[in-house]
Amino acid sequence: MAEPDSDAAPWWRGAVIYQIYPRSFLDSNGDGIGDLAGITSKLDYVASLGVDAIWLSPFFASPMKDFGYDVSDYRAVDPIFGTLEEFDRLVTRAHELDLRVIIDQVYAHTSDAHAWFQESRSDRLNDKSDWYVWADPTPDGTPPNNWLAVFYGPCWTWDGRRGQYYLHNFLPSQPNLNVHNPAVQKALFDTARFWLRRGVDGFRLDAINFAMHDRSLADNPPVMVTNAVFNRPFDFQHHLHNQSQPELVPFIEKLAKVMREFGPDRFTVAEVGGEQALAEMKLYTEGQVRLNTSYSFDFLYVAQLSPKLVLNALSKWPGGKDEGWPSWAFSNHDAPRVVTRWGGPQAGASCAKMLLTLLMCLRGNVFLYQGEELGLAQADIPFERLRDPEAIANWPATLGRDGARTPMPWENKLPYAGFSDAEPWLPIPSGHIAAAVSEQDGEADSVLAIARELIALRRSSPLLRAGSFQPLDLPPPLLGFDRGGETGVLRCLFNLTDKIQDCALLASGKLLFAIGPVDLDKKSLGGLTACILEMPQE
């Protein structure tokens, strides 16, 4: 078993990072949209959680066709979020509160409104003509290959000015950069330096495995599964050629070198999804000259929690020589909230507390999505209020992302739960208002109080933060594992159902933390119960 890191371990190893979705955190100017000044005003609350850092989803200049992931200027704050000066004030205040600041960097694509793309599409001879991925049509005028985009149909859109198709792996308004081009790489590295000089502590690299394509433009092979039912054309292919190319590794190493220019504490986390995700995550984080960690999708879209799911996911990161470091999330701005997804529509505080305990006990970094510390359920957004282009295009096969993006509920007695003086961009469910921060703050047994207690326990425990992971042999629905190292062993036990379960492994150990009824004498765990035991030294 791998041992915990020493006191000299980097700050991010085992850290808890709180994700803020700026549109939905707090509106400071009454337009119904959250902004940077609103975030700054609530950083004391974030610091009170005990987290190590915040991750800000995109706040850059954008037409907002994909809500900020279509960037039109990498170095500008979109006016709906504020100004660069307000961003600087946010970073300053965060650092005063001992919070690191992580921001998104979207290097695979830009908006079609970006000046780079406007120049690139103007003709085939301009200075940026090769900054995006352009291709001639086939002899019959159709796209150059069969590649399919994540959101809609083909990866290719015709541009009459160039008389060529351009590549986009997401919306047609998100043309792919040609990251093979050294000039594009330099521009992206200069963008990274721009934000690092402003005091940013690290980057989440959005959809980084989409940043390079197979330059031969070979067709993707079909997924040959009998009787398979796919919701999107994208799912009919193995995406071997429009993403995940080997040339990404030297690009990543160059980016990591840029990060080291600003000191050893700068942090990088790669977002890597898809059927090759595990191999790519390990590749991109291997050794000391690549990225620090990778953000796992193992839990984000799975419909049901099981012991097998957790143990299989953690077993992929045993802690071998030169192995990277994993990062885990149960919820985020793209996935349905975990309390509803795993607990069902009637899931309550007990389920939320048990899931928070499980998340905080995992080996790796923890990403906590805003509102997860309140136990917020997935919101049900009617079709006429949807804003997410994926949801609108695929309704009702996929409900999209809006249900996880509704505004934070701050004050249950204020209009719009204290988020804004105006009607918010998305509605706030009544159940969220009842779970507002004002209702939970100061309540000893609230989900919020338990979240703070768990984060403090993890932060103070080298075993939980960086200890080894050893699965325990328990019959489902029980889940158990040990977090161990030179200083001892912590045993983490969970009952994933609402029925009492016998658990012989409660026979020894000192109860350090518990959610729900734990009977050490009868060796039983109540429904939706979690506990952490301090095991005797052998």
Domain boundary among the residues 455, 488, 505 is at 455
Position 227 scores a pLDDT of 79
Instruction: Tell whether 441 and 501 lie within a shared domain.
Output: no
> Would residue 149 count as lying in a domain?
no
Instruction: Tell whether 243 and 319 lie within a shared domain.
Output: yes
Q: What is the pLDDT of residues 394-433, one digit of tens each?
A: 777 766 799 999 999 999 999 999 999 999 999 999 999 9
The confidence band for 86, taking pLDDT boundaries of 50, 70 and 90, is very high
Q: Choose among 498, 491, 504: nearest CA to 516.
A: 498
Positions annotated as catalytic residues are 206, 261
> Would residue 60 count as lying in a domain?
yes
Q: What is the pLDDT of residues 520-533, one digit of tens each?
A: 999 999 999 999 99
Calculate mean pLDDT across residues 163-189: 98
> Would residue 305 count as lying in a domain?
yes
> Would residue 416 count as lying in a domain?
yes
Tokens of 13: 């190893």
Q: What is the pLDDT of residues 294-304, one digit of tens each?
A: 999 999 999 99
Instruction: Tell whether 485 and 337 lie within a shared domain.
Output: no
CA-CA distance, 287 to 246, in Å (whole number)? 17
Position 211 scores a pLDDT of 97
CA-CA distance, 43 to 171, in Å (whole number)? 33
Tokens of 182: 């050294």
Instruction: Tell whether 396 and 291 lie within a shared domain.
Output: yes
Calculate mean pLDDT across residues 360-376: 98
Calculate mean pLDDT across residues 136-165: 96
Position 392 scores a pLDDT of 83
CA-CA distance, 163 to 141, in Å (whole number)? 10
The confidence band for 208, taking pLDDT boundaries of 50, 70 and 90, is very high
The confidence band for 151, taking pLDDT boundaries of 50, 70 and 90, is confident
The confidence band for 2, taking pLDDT boundaries of 50, 70 and 90, is very low
Calculate mean pLDDT across residues 358-363: 98
Instruction: Tell whether 495 and 413 lie within a shared domain.
Output: no
Q: Is the pLDDT of residue 356 over 80?
A: yes
Position 5 scores a pLDDT of 44
Position 1 scores a pLDDT of 33
* Phi, psi angles (nearest 5°) of residue 469: -125, 120
CATH, residue 306: 3.20.20.80
Position 7 scores a pLDDT of 52
Domain boundary among the residues 401, 426, 455 is at 455
State whether residue 134 is helix, strand or coil.
Answer: strand
CATH, residue 476: 2.60.40.1180
Q: Is the pLDDT of residue 255 over 60?
A: yes
Position 346 scores a pLDDT of 86
> Would residue 124 count as lying in a domain?
no
Position 248 scores a pLDDT of 98
> Would residue 189 count as lying in a domain?
yes
Calculate mean pLDDT across residues 26-30: 98
Angle at 132 between CA 126 and CA 133, to 5 degrees: 120
H or E element: which one contains 350?
helix 349-361
Domain boundary among the residues 398, 427, 455 is at 455
Q: Is the pLDDT of residue 503 over 50?
A: yes
Position 3 scores a pLDDT of 40
Strand pairing report for 60-61 and 53-56 = unpaired
Instruction: Tell whether 430 and 503 lie within a shared domain.
Output: no
Domain assignment of residue 514, given as a range:
468-534
If you average pLDDT over every residue of the chain, what do you get?
A: 95
Listed in sequence order, the residues at least 6 apart from 452 whose beta carbon sits closer than 8 Å to its beta carbon are: 48, 49, 50, 373
Instruction: Tell whether 421 and 513 lie within a shared domain.
Output: no
Instruction: Tell whether 522 and 419 lie within a shared domain.
Output: no
> Would residue 5 count as lying in a domain?
no
> Would residue 523 count as lying in a domain?
yes
Q: Is the pLDDT of residue 4 over 50?
A: no
Q: Is the pLDDT of residue 537 over 90?
A: no
Instruction: Tell whether 86 and 210 lie within a shared domain.
Output: yes
The confidence band for 231, taking pLDDT boundaries of 50, 70 and 90, is confident
For residue 383, CA distances in Å to 21, 428, 459 come to: 22, 15, 42
Instruction: Tell whether 247 and 310 lie within a shared domain.
Output: yes
Number of domains the chain contains: 2
State whether residue 208 is helix, strand or coil.
Answer: helix
pTM greater than the 0.85 cutoff: yes
Q: Residue 54 forms beta bridges with which residues?
A: 18, 101
Position 398 scores a pLDDT of 67
Instruction: Tell whether 49 and 190 lie within a shared domain.
Output: yes
CA atoms within 13 A on the CB side of 278: 7
H or E element: which one contains 282?
helix 277-285
Tokens of 334: 């793209």
383-390's contacts with Cβ under 8 Å and 24+ in sequence apart are 385/426, 385/427, 387/67, 387/425, 387/426, 388/67, 389/65, 389/66, 389/151, 389/171, 390/151
Instruction: Tell whether 266 and 415 lie within a shared domain.
Output: yes
